Structure 1
Amino acid sequence: MRTAAFVLVALGLAVLLVPPIFQLDQQLVDLRAAGLPPSPAHPLGTDEVGRDVLLRCVYGLRVSFLVGLVAALVSMVIGGTLGLAAGSAGGLVDRLLMRVVDGFSSLPHLLLGIFIVAMFAPSPVAVVVSVGITHWTSAARIVRSEVLSLRGRPFVEAAISGGASRSRVIYRHLLPHLVPHLLLAMVLMVPHAIWHETALSFLGLGLPPHLASLGNMINDGQRSLLAGNWWSSLAPGLFILAPTLAVSVLSQRWRDRLNPRMRSELAL
């Protein structure tokens, strides 16, 4: 767990501090330094047009993280709203909304995302819309299940018996208990959104080709593999893998704290 926290802190500091210090020109090339292997001057080498791979990985992680965070937030808003409506209303509304969730869940996320993003020019907005529309179903299921669990709690039943309106029950009693679960679901969705953005950019449908993103870097690096420049693809791949594993470890610990009973049952 400490290693995962250290990795996230180190990457977070790099994303926050490196871009203001090193003003990277996305269009600048230096053919004299093209294809250089890792060295003290360039710890992760240079790409096929002479750009520093480490610096571009940091910029790419920053772009991918921002896109993934906004996309995860959009998914949480859509899924949380529908899940809250389904769980609190119940009956026919619940059944109809959950059939919509089941319908979206049955569709291949990546293919649906490609279809959505192909209707726009490559841009961060197109990726956010694509990921937000295709990844809200898990949030809806989580929120609905928590609302159904909370509706049977004594304090909620007491509020309803006391004449509290539905809106007061939602905002006063349900939302405060849902916030930790929503935050956890959003944290878990950020790496998934980054992977989705990377896949779209790798296919040429995500972010603009000149923009430093991890998917674009892997796409560019695969052309350099035949020339022996393995670092051009390996470095951005590691920058995707490291935060994903770190978030997975920390979120598992967070989930255990939110559900201690589930952890004790699994331990048995």
Structure 2
Amino acid sequence: MADTAIALPGRTARRVRVTTSAVIVVAVGLAVLVVPPLTQLDQQAVDLANKLVPPSLAHPFGTDDVGRDLLLRCVYGLRVSLLVGLVAALTATVVGTAIGALAGALGGWADRIVMRVVDALSSIPHLLLGIFIVAMFRPGVWPVIISVALTHWISTARIVRAEVLSLRSRPFIDAAVSGGASRTRIVVRHLLPGVLPQAGLAAVLMVPHAMWHESALSFLGLGLPAHQASLGNLVQSARGSLLAGDWWPTLFPGLFLIIPTLALAGLAGAWRDRINPRRKSELML
């Protein structure tokens, strides 16, 4: 009875956390998909007569230093940052899954070469490597996506390789080899389906990381063009206003970046508990 009494609050807290995260993610998805097409307002419209207006009924998030509505700008910025994060995370996951699966399935010298490359890239900070990559292109969405994808496949490759090595020792793989199955068939029919849950979890966890990476690059002036609304650009352009005592141009873009990433992390944690029953049972104790 005591164990049950301890477990129930933990389960209730997890359900509340997951439900809250799901509601936030759905609300964010609806906002970025529905608000821009329905609104008749131009998020780039300049109104110098109403610059740096505090939050009000007319402008719930206030206005920026040239009179643009911050709520609309934040929605557009979240739309761009989320698009960059999703595409970059999916690209990095596909690359990392392919490389990790091949390294684990082939083994031997191929595995050693791949892991040495992974170790070498892991020793370089992601942001520094990302700055080097985007510096070779003109500012834009695709250079940022390429930069994030090329710096974030490494962790997925490690996870997938470890999962493949674990699956290779299972009896059903030995049975497939004894039955004459080719290496390609074993990888496609047996190994890849076994690593897809882990790869999917890595992709979900990578989306908020990619959004923060894009925001950092844009904040440094190396990501998206300054005129394009992204959360990093909004925070970067609000630095002068913050020093002058106007807090809202910095606060609301920051919240639009923090809250969705925490919600995605909450859903990813629930997914991780679902595919790892042992960890889930430990959390309930």
The alignment's TM-score, normalised by the length of structure 1, stands at: 0.96
Show the counterpart of 1:238: 255
Q: CA deviation at 1:25?
A: 3.5
Q: Which residue of 1 aligns with 2:214?
A: 197
Instruction: Identify the residue that residue 140 of structure 1 maps to in structure 2.
Output: 157
Per the TM alignment, residue 41 of structure 1 is displaced from its structure 2 partner at its CA by 0.9
For this pair of structures, how many residues does the alignment match?
268
Tell me which residue corresponds to 1:108: 125
Alignment of 1:175-214 (within 5 A): 175-214=192-231
CA distance in 2 between counterparts of 1:28 and 1:209 reads 15
**Greater Cα shift, 143-152 or 221-230:** 221-230
Query: Deviation of residue 262 (structure 1)?
Result: 3.2
Gap regions ≥5 residues in structure 1:
none
1:24–1:74: structure 2 CA closer, same or farther, 3 Å change rule? farther
2:62 alignment partner, one of 32, 45, 53: 45
| Residues 23-76 of structure 1: CA deviation (Å, up to 9, x unaligned) | 554542111111000001111100001111111111101100101111111211
Q: Matched residues in 2 for 1:243 and 1:138: separation? A: 22
Which moved further from structure 2: 194-203 or 3-12?
A: 3-12
Specify the alignment match of 2:84 in structure 1: 67
Q: 2:51 aligns with which of 34, 49, 54?
A: 34
Q: CA deviation at 1:215?
A: 0.3
Mark the runs of 5 or more structure 2 residues left unpaired by the alignment: 1-17
Structure 1 residue matching 2:238: 3-state secondary structure: helix
What SS does the corresponding residue of 2:31 show, helix, strand or coil?
helix
CA RMSD of aligned residues (A): 1.3
Amino acid corresponding to residue 21 of structure 2 in structure 1: A
Aligned position for 1:228: 245
Change beyond 3 A, Cα 1:246–1:228: same
SS of 2:64 mapped into structure 1 = coil
Contact kept, 8 Å, 2:62 with 2:248, in 1: the verdict is yes
2-side partners of 1:5 and 1:152: how far apart?
37
**4+ long deviations beyond 4 Å:** 265-268
- Structure 1 CA distance, aligned partners of 2:212 and 2:123? 20
Mapped partners of 1:100, 1:34: distance in 2: 51
Aligned-pair CA distance for 1:89:
0.5
State the Cα distance separating 1:265 from its structure 2 match. 5.0
Tell me if the contact between 2:43 and 2:68 (Cα under 8 Å) persists in the aligned partners.
Answer: no
Q: Is 1:120 paired with 2:156?
A: no
- Which amino acid is 1:152 matched to? S
Matched, 1:96 2:113: yes
- TM-superposition CA deviations, 1:119-171 (whole Å, max 9, x none): 11110011011111111100000110110111111211111110000111111
Equivalent residues of 1:26, 1:210 under 8 A apart:
no
Per the alignment, residue 9 of structure 1 pairs with 26
Tell me how far 1:226 sits from its aligned partner: 2.7
Change (3 A) 1:236 1:135: same
1:228 Cα offset (Å): 2.2
Provide TM-score, normalisation by structure 2. Answer: 0.91
Q: Does 1:79 align with 2:100?
A: no
Using the alignment, how far apart are the partners of 1:212 and 1:196 within structure 2? 16
2:43 and 2:69 in contact (8 A); partners too: no
Partners of 2:46 and 2:67 within 8 A in 1: yes
Paired amino acid for 2:30: L
Secondary structure of 1:224 counterpart? helix
- Counterpart contact for 2:80–2:230, Cα < 8 Å: yes
Percent identity, aligned pairs only?
65
* 8 Å contact kept, 1:29–1:51: yes
